[in-house]
Amino acid sequence: MKILFLISSIFLLSNCASQTSADKLVNNPAQPTPTIVNANNVNVNNWKPIDNEADKIDEAERKELDARNENFKQVPDEFEGIDFENFKYPLARLKNGEHEERDEKHLGGTTYNFDEAFFIDLNNDNRKEAVVMLYAVSCGGSCDGGRSIIHFYSSRKNKPRLVDWIELGSRSGGCSLKSFKIKDKKIFIEQFGKCAKNSSYEENRVNSCKFCVKDLTRSIYSIKSSELFRESIEEIKTPETNVINYFAEISINE
């Protein structure tokens, strides 16, 4: 997938300083993005990767997940003719699966890439919704390590209608994607870091490396009457993890 290429590319840029990225969580009022205190004081030249091997799925399991997920990539009649690689999203209009926004002031910008699209009935109405995932990497005087943006579309008269979207945090800023699962009409999202305050970033976050994050946040969503609701959110204490090359787990089930 394009995620692997993007993450490998930004690994070469990992000596950059942190950059902010907004996080949108459904049904919460917008809040100002908090600043990261001492974010630029971490020693990015001498960090050592922290690997929680017990927390990763093995290659055989990953292949099994990918094979099962393929069953949900078949385009249903209600989305026939919709090209999500050439499509206007809330944050970007993609052409041939990508879009680049230049930031001349900071000598950088943001690159958006189409990642995957899945089709599954989430509204229990015998019609499938589209779950479209983009991946964005922002660089300037710094690079954020990339973030996932998850869109949910229903179909009305064979035209896509945006239900809602969730922009997760970046790998350098915290609240990046650990896993995304759909099962029994429920949407389960795990993020690295403390993310319950509707922010990509943790206040006063000082860890041992730029891409090191402590703790996890687990959220459960559902779609009802063509609206996305967050049913619960939970923060869980975990050891520090280096997420620079973490390959997020994607699991789609009926």
**pLDDT tens readout for residues 156-200:** 888 999 999 999 999 988 899 999 999 999 999 999 999 988 555
Q: At 243, which amino acid appears?
A: V
Q: Which residue has the higher pLDDT, 55 or 216?
A: 216
User: Which of 36-40, 61-65, 231-235 reaches the highest mean pLDDT?
Assistant: 231-235
What is the reported pLDDT for 200?
52
Q: Which residue has the higher pLDDT, 141 or 159?
A: 159
Residue 62, phi then psi, degrees to nearest 5: -65, -40
So what's the pLDDT on residue 198? Answer: 56
For range 32-55, the mean pLDDT: 34
Is residue 20 predicted with pLDDT exceeding 50?
no
Distances (CA, A) of 150 to 26, 133, 138, 177: 12, 5, 17, 10
**Inter-CA distances, 147 with 2, 16, 157, 163, 223, Å:** 13, 16, 32, 20, 23
Q: What is the pLDDT of residue 57?
A: 65
Kindly state the tokens that stand for 98: 């990508």
How high is the pLDDT of residue 247?
87
15 pLDDT tier (thresholds 50, 70, 90): very low
pLDDT in the model for residue 56: 62
Q: Could you give the 3-state DSSP secondary structure of residue 183?
A: strand
Q: What are 81-140's pLDDT values in tens digits? A: 999 999 999 999 999 999 999 887 767 899 999 999 999 999 988 999 999 999 999 988
For the chain, how are helix, strand and coil distributed in percent, rounded to 5? 10, 40, 50
Residues paired with residue 216 on neighbouring β-strands, in sequence order: 192, 236
pLDDT at residue 70 tops 80: yes
For residues 141 and 249, the model is more confident at 249
pLDDT band at 50, cuts 50/70/90? Answer: very low
Residue 8, SS3 per DSSP: helix
pLDDT at residue 16 is higher than 80: no
Identify the pLDDT of residue 140.
81
Report which of 216, 112, 227 is spatially closest to residue 162, judged by C-alpha positions: 227
- The pLDDT value recorded for residue 55 is 56
pLDDT for 71-88, tens place per residue?
999 999 999 999 999 999
pLDDT of 234 over the 80 cut: yes
- Return the pLDDT at 141: 75
pLDDT of res. 37: 26
Strands 249-252 and 177-183: parallel
Residue ranges per domain, the chain?
2-252
Residue range 6-15: mean pLDDT, rounded: 39
